[in-house]
Structure 1
Amino acid sequence: MNRLFDKSIVLVCCIAAALGLAVDARLVAAFCLGVIATSLAEVAQDERTRRASDAASYVYIIAAVFVPPFVPFAPLALYDIARRVCRKRVWVALGVCSVFAFALVANLRTNTLTARTLLLAAILSIAATLLSLRTAQLEREQQRMRRTRDELQERALVLETRNRDLADRQDYEVELATLAERARIAREIHDNVGYQLTRASLQAEALRVVHADEPGVAADFADVKHTVDEALQLVRTSVHALNDNAVDLSVQLERIVEGARSDGGPQIELEVMTEHAPANVANCFAAVLREALSNTMRHACAHAVTVRCMEHPSFYQLIVTDDGMGRVQASGRGAAEGMGLASMRERIEALGGTFTAGPRASAGGWRVFATVPKPQGDEGR
């Protein structure tokens, strides 16, 4: 847009400089060719078109040396020459400008053009050159500013991504510490309070037997034992609930994947889409994933492993796929993994689920597919 505005001003000034000349075919041709040449410079996109535009500008200046009516519109060509001048072609541009200056002097001596027209042409040529150089510098600054803006935006996006990763990692560490503390508390209650209550229940039962010939005392000890057993049952229920809350499926799978990742190993992608899974399902899937990754590392030259754990309305699903072994060698790999596959199958079927493992039908590699149904009360959750 800046170039079009500049050229509009230069063109108006060139027309004003040519007003004192007789309107003939040469002047009209000079005007039309000047407009065409300067328009070609604006539509030039590739390198070949730009070279043609530069050549047209140089030819126009040379034509102005031999055809005086071309002189008033020469500033348009000089504007385009100054636009793309570089160190390699600066001497060519200076040479063409010098020839044009000598042409102005020659026309002044021969009175081919009026002094007013030549003076305006000279002033416009200098002004057009300076205007083109100023606009080129402005464009370079704008380009540099856009480049700087893009770099800053890119860095901002990178920092935002890193901050988000750090926040996620921090949340993961906090959750991991919370779950570990819950598990520790559950163990402490089970090992200490549970042991003492069990001991108290046994002592009450022993005292009841000792005082069996005293019905009143025996009944009191029986009540004490019943109360202690109820307290022990409440403690066990609380410990189991606390331990179940301490088992998080996504955390367990993340631990296993992190432990399996290595610099020379395959790329492992983990995707967990479950809100909450029971402790038995979480422990089962963790064991299956551990065995599946172990088999992949030992029996397959995989480059990528994908782990997806999803929760559906009526069942939980675990899918582990890799690209390490094609269908031709599938039977050999299945035999090598026989005991591990049997162990995974037993774990899944113990929860009423289904388990399959084998080569992928659509592509090379291996797939482990396991589903475990939800309890009846969780299906609508």
Structure 2
Amino acid sequence: MNRLFDKSIVLACCIAAAVGLAVDARLVAAFCLGVIATSLAEVAQGNRARRASETASYVYIIAAVFVPPFVPLAPLAFYDIARRVRREHAWVALGIGSVFAFALIADLRTDALTARTLLLTAILSVAATLLSLRTAQLEREQQRMRRTRDELQERALALEARNRDLADRQDYEVELATLAERARIAREIHDNVGHQLTRASLQTEALRVVHANEPRIAADFADVKRTVDEALQLVRASVHALNDNAVDLSVQLDCIVEGARSDGGPQVELEALAEHAPANVANCFAAVLREALSNAMRHAHAKTITVRCMEHPSFYQLIVTDDGADATPASSSNVAEGMGLASMRERVEALGGTFTAGPRVGAGGWRVFATVPKPQGDEDR
């Protein structure tokens, strides 16, 4: 847009400089060729096309040296030359400018053009060159600012992902600490209270046997034994409840999916064929699902996301697929593997599982696949 505005001003000034000249075929041809050359410079894409447009600008200046009617439109060519000139080729542009200046002097002496036209053309050529250099510097600054903005945005996204991962890890550590404390309390109750109640039950049974010839006393000891046994059963139930570290995996995944659903967002379908799973497996799958949903919605722009969680005889399995773009859903600064994918891989492999993520074979979209083996002794649960 800046270039178009600049060239509109330069073209208007060139037309003003040409006012008063005789309108003939050469002047019309000069005007048409100048406009075509400067237009090609704007639409040229690729190195070859740009070199061709640059060559056309040089040719136009050379034509202006020999054909005076080409002189008033020469500032447009100087604008395009200054736009793409390199430092190592600056001497070429300076040489062309010097030749053009001598041509203006020659035209002035031969009265080929009016002094007004030649003076305006000289001033306008210098102004167009400076304007082109200024616009080029402005474009470089805008490019630099865009790169800086993109880098800051990438860093912000990476920091956000890192903070989310740290929060998940903190929740995971709190859960582990809670389970460890519950296990410690369960051991304390089992080793102390449980053993004492078992001892009291055995002693009561022994006293009942000793007083078997005394029915009333034996009946009292039998009542005491039943009470102690009931208390022992309650203690054992409490110990098992405290030591039970299994959670309802399907409910936990359903809560995450419900939280991800929103009006206008992607359609998320959940198929959970696993109920109870160890807390570390449930926390791992929950973190993987949250990250996979976030990547699918934010990076892949998916419209449909399918989540499948299954319990097999020897392992748990989580599969998340979407129909979004086939690109790594991660920060673009990490080409090999994004921070989110690395975090998911670390969580799964820490439990001895396997993790893969990549484009779906034979179909569009992305696929996240994670399996975690069951602990020994849990296969037949």
Interval containing the TM-score (normalised by the shorter chain):
0.5 to 0.7
1:69 corresponds to which letter in structure 2? P
With normalisation by structure 2, the TM-score equals 0.67
**Change over 3 Å in CA distance of 1:191–1:178 after alignment to 2:** same
Is the contact made by 1:309 and 1:318 (CA closer than 8 Å) also made in structure 2?
Answer: no
1:310 corresponds to which letter in structure 2? C
Is the contact made by 2:310 and 2:316 (CA closer than 8 Å) also made in structure 1?
Answer: no
Residue correspondence of structure 1 range 136-175 to structure 2 within 5 A = 136-175=136-175
**Change over 3 Å in CA distance of 1:96–1:309 after alignment to 2:** closer
Alignment partner of 1:318 out of 311, 315, 320: 315
- How far, CA to CA, are the matches of 1:33 and 1:309 in structure 2? 65
**Change over 3 Å in CA distance of 1:238–1:70 after alignment to 2:** same
2:148 corresponds to which letter in structure 1? T
Is the contact made by 2:274 and 2:309 (CA closer than 8 Å) also made in structure 1?
Answer: no
**Change over 3 Å in CA distance of 1:369–1:181 after alignment to 2:** closer
SS at match of 1:310: strand
**Which residue number corresponds to residue 236 of structure 1?**
236
- How far, CA to CA, are the matches of 1:199 and 1:222 in structure 2? 15
Give the C-alpha shift of residue 154 in structure 1. 1.3
Unaligned stretches of 5+ residues in structure 1: 251-272, 283-307, 321-366, 376-381
**Which residue number corresponds to residue 70 of structure 1?**
70
> Aligned-residue CA RMSD in angstroms?
3.2
**Change over 3 Å in CA distance of 1:132–1:368 after alignment to 2:** closer
**Which residue number corresponds to residue 130 of structure 2?**
130
- How far, CA to CA, are the matches of 2:277 and 2:69 in structure 1? 93
- How far, CA to CA, are the matches of 1:317 and 1:211 in structure 2? 54
Is the contact made by 1:309 and 1:316 (CA closer than 8 Å) also made in structure 2?
Answer: no
Give the C-alpha shift of residue 211 in structure 1. 2.6
Unaligned stretches of 5+ residues in structure 2: 250-271, 282-306, 318-370
SS at match of 1:50: helix
Q: Report Cα offsets for 1:119-162 as digits up to 9, x if no partner.
A: 11111111111110110000000110111111111111221222
Is the contact made by 1:310 and 1:317 (CA closer than 8 Å) also made in structure 2?
Answer: no
- How far, CA to CA, are the matches of 2:181 and 2:248 in structure 1? 16
Give the C-alpha shift of residue 182 in structure 1. 1.4
Give the C-alpha shift of residue 101 in structure 1. 1.1
2:114 corresponds to which letter in structure 1? T
Is the contact made by 1:197 and 1:228 (CA closer than 8 Å) also made in structure 2?
Answer: yes
2:315 corresponds to which letter in structure 1? L
- How far, CA to CA, are the matches of 2:104 and 2:87 in structure 1? 26
Is the contact made by 1:194 and 1:235 (CA closer than 8 Å) also made in structure 2?
Answer: yes
- How far, CA to CA, are the matches of 1:224 and 1:278 in structure 2? 40
Is the contact made by 1:201 and 1:229 (CA closer than 8 Å) also made in structure 2?
Answer: yes
Q: Report Cα offsets for 1:145-204 as digits up to 9, x if no partner.
A: 111111111111221222222222221111111111112211111111110000111111
Q: Report Cα offsets for 1:224-250 as digits up to 9, x if no partner.
A: 111111000111111112222x24699
**Which residue number corresponds to residue 57 of structure 1?**
57
**Which residue number corresponds to residue 94 of structure 2?**
94
**Which residue number corresponds to residue 334 of structure 1?**
none
**Which residue number corresponds to residue 12 of structure 1?**
12
Q: Report Cα offsets for 1:52-87 as digits up to 9, x if no partner.
A: 111110111111111111110000000000001111
- How far, CA to CA, are the matches of 2:277 and 2:12 in structure 1? 83
**Change over 3 Å in CA distance of 1:236–1:31 after alignment to 2:** same
Q: Give structure 1 regions of 4+ aligned residues with deviation exceeding 3 angstroms.
A: 247-250, 273-276, 308-312, 367-370, 372-375
**Which residue number corresponds to residue 45 of structure 1?**
45
SS at match of 2:276: coil
**Which residue number corresponds to residue 357 of structure 1?**
none
Is the contact made by 1:249 and 1:277 (CA closer than 8 Å) also made in structure 2?
Answer: yes
Residue correspondence of structure 1 range 196-215 to structure 2 within 5 A = 196-215=196-215
Give the C-alpha shift of residue 220 in structure 1. 2.0
2:54 corresponds to which letter in structure 1? D
- How far, CA to CA, are the matches of 1:83 and 1:213 in structure 2? 119
SS at match of 2:309: strand
- How far, CA to CA, are the matches of 2:233 and 2:315 in structure 1? 34
**Which residue number corresponds to residue 180 of structure 2?**
180
With normalisation by structure 1, the TM-score equals 0.67
State the identity as a percent. 78
**Structure number with bigger Rg:** 1
Is the contact made by 1:41 and 1:54 (CA closer than 8 Å) also made in structure 2?
Answer: yes
**Change over 3 Å in CA distance of 1:153–1:249 after alignment to 2:** same
